[in-house]
């Protein structure tokens, strides 16, 4: 790519955010984190109470990126084949020969919404593991490649836990970012009320195509990161592990720490954030801003932390304060 091509591609990112902003009021930090996950080539888990436009955010992103989109509503009776696909018996009417043909499921899309992912049993949740990590699906011994780019966004409700199946740590680790969505401000909520109760509706036009997303994902890996910041990320991730950590918070309250995948995720996300802001070098601010969504689902705290109402976000804050650059 020439410098002109790169600049033209980067110029589309503010336009993309503006198009999504026609429908999604506020939530700027959440939108940035979702776009960071897309540019970094990972997946994101969105958590928030009902009515905060989690599903609408994903649908709007699909409209603004012009990517093939599928929505999967996770329910207790959902089976793996409902996600991955199944084989059907077909007959050639000319020869009478019968053969099995793989019929792809809704996972075969570039942008997939896994709505209320914790509503389905672990057997069905595990059907996503191979697709999320390796980019293909194995059925009847045959590998079927998923489209590129492949971006999975899952949602879950943190309040209503009756009849749910919390995601195991191995599956949580497959998500690049764990994004928490909070309530809007008073001004934002006023804008939502006035903009969604009338007759006018916002029209979102596509800005990025599949080729654009693939090129941006390649550009992310070319963004610079200094050796000092690389060392900082390494020490930050290693400090999450109670057995070797020198951070008192982790020694007292840590049960399990993050693995090497957390360091990879933090570096890629920092580079993606830099590119999203038009920079070709990641900074300490990028790392600090993305440490909570990268680490909060990769740090397990013990019962003492639960008794004192401490959360993984408190652990991340303590780590950022204790680990020196």
Q: Residues 77-118: pLDDT tens digits?
A: 888 888 888 888 777 777 777 777 788 888 998 889 998 888
Nearest Cα to 290, choosing from 209, 147, 179, 191? 179
290: CB partners within 8 A, 6+ apart: 33, 36, 177, 266, 269, 270, 273
Q: Please give the average per-residue pLDDT across 180-194, as a whole number.
A: 81
**pLDDT score for 285:** 93
Contact 41, 210 (CB under 8 A): no
Q: Are residues 39 and 163 in the same domain?
A: yes
**Residue 316 is part of a domain; what is its CATH number?**
1.10.8.80
Rounded CA gap, 6 and 10, in Å?
6
In this structure, what are the phi and psi dihedrals at residue 101, rounded to the nearest 5 degrees? -125, 135
Asked if residue 9 is part of any domain, the answer here is no
> How do strand 85-91 and strand 98-104 relate by DSSP bridges?
antiparallel
Asked if residue 7 is part of any domain, the answer here is no
Q: Are residues 24 and 92 in the same domain?
A: yes
With bands split at pLDDT 50, 70 and 90, how would you rate the model's confidence at 265? very high
Considering 23-27, 57-61, 166-170, 217-221, the range whose residues carry the highest mean pLDDT is: 217-221
Residue 110 to residues 62, 67, 105, 120: CA-CA distances in angstroms? 9, 6, 13, 22
Q: Please give the average per-residue pLDDT across 217-223, as a whole number.
A: 91
Number of domains in the chain: 2
Contact 135, 146 (CB under 8 A): yes
| Other CB atoms within 10 A of residue 235 CB | 15
With bands split at pLDDT 50, 70 and 90, how would you rate the model's confidence at 232? very high
For residue 174, what are the domain limits?
A: 15-195
**pLDDT score for 286:** 93
Q: Are residues 48 and 172 in the same domain?
A: yes
Q: Are residues 27 and 136 in the same domain?
A: yes
- The answer, yes or no, to whether residue 240 has pLDDT greater than 90, is yes
**Residue 85 is part of a domain; what is its CATH number?**
3.40.50.300
Rounded CA gap, 155 and 71, in Å?
11
Rounded CA gap, 245 and 236, in Å?
10
- The answer, yes or no, to whether residue 235 has pLDDT greater than 70, is yes
Q: Work out the mean pLDDT of the chain and round it to a whole number.
A: 86
**pLDDT score for 160:** 66
Q: Are residues 93 and 161 in the same domain?
A: yes
């Amino acid at each position: 790519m020439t410098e002109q091509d790169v600049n033209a591609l980067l110029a589309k990112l503010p336009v993309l955010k503006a198009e999504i902003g026609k429908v999604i009021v506020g939530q700027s930090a959440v939108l940035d984190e979702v776009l960071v996950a897309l540019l970094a080539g990972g997946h994101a888990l969105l958590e928030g109470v009902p009515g905060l436009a989690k599903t609408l955010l994903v649908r709007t992103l699909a409209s603004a990126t012009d990517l093939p989109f599928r929505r999967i509503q996770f329910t207790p009776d959902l089976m793996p084949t409902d996600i991955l696909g199944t084989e059907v018996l077909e007959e050639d009417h000319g020869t009478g020969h019968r053969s099995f043909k793989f019929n792809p499921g809704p996972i075969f899309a570039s942008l997939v919404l896994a709505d209320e992912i914790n509503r389905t049993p672990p057997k069905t949740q595990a059907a996503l593991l191979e697709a999320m990590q390796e980019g293909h699906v194995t059925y009847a011994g045959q590998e079927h490649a998923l489209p590129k780019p492949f971006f999975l966004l899952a949602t879950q409700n943190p309040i209503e836990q009756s009849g749910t199946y919390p995601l195991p740590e191995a599956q949580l680790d497959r998500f690049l970012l764990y994004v928490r969505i909070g309530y809007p401000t008073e001004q934002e909520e006023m804008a939502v009320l006035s903009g969604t109760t009338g007759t006018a509706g916002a029209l979102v036009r596509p800005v990025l195509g599949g080729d654009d997303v693939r090129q941006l994902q390649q550009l992310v890996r070319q963004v610079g990161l200094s050796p000092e910041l690389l060392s900082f990320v390494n020490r930050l991730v290693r400090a999450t592990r109670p057995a070797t950590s020198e951070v008192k918070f982790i020694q007292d309250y840590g049960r399990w720490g993050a693995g090497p995948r957390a360091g990879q995720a933090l570096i890629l996300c920092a580079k993606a954030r830099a590119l999203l802001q038009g920079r070709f070098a990641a900074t300490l601010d990028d790392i600090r801003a993305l440490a909570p969504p990268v680490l909060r689902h990769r740090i397990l705290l013990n019962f003492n932390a639960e008794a004192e109402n401490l959360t993984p976000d408190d652990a991340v804050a303590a780590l950022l304060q204790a680990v020196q650059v």
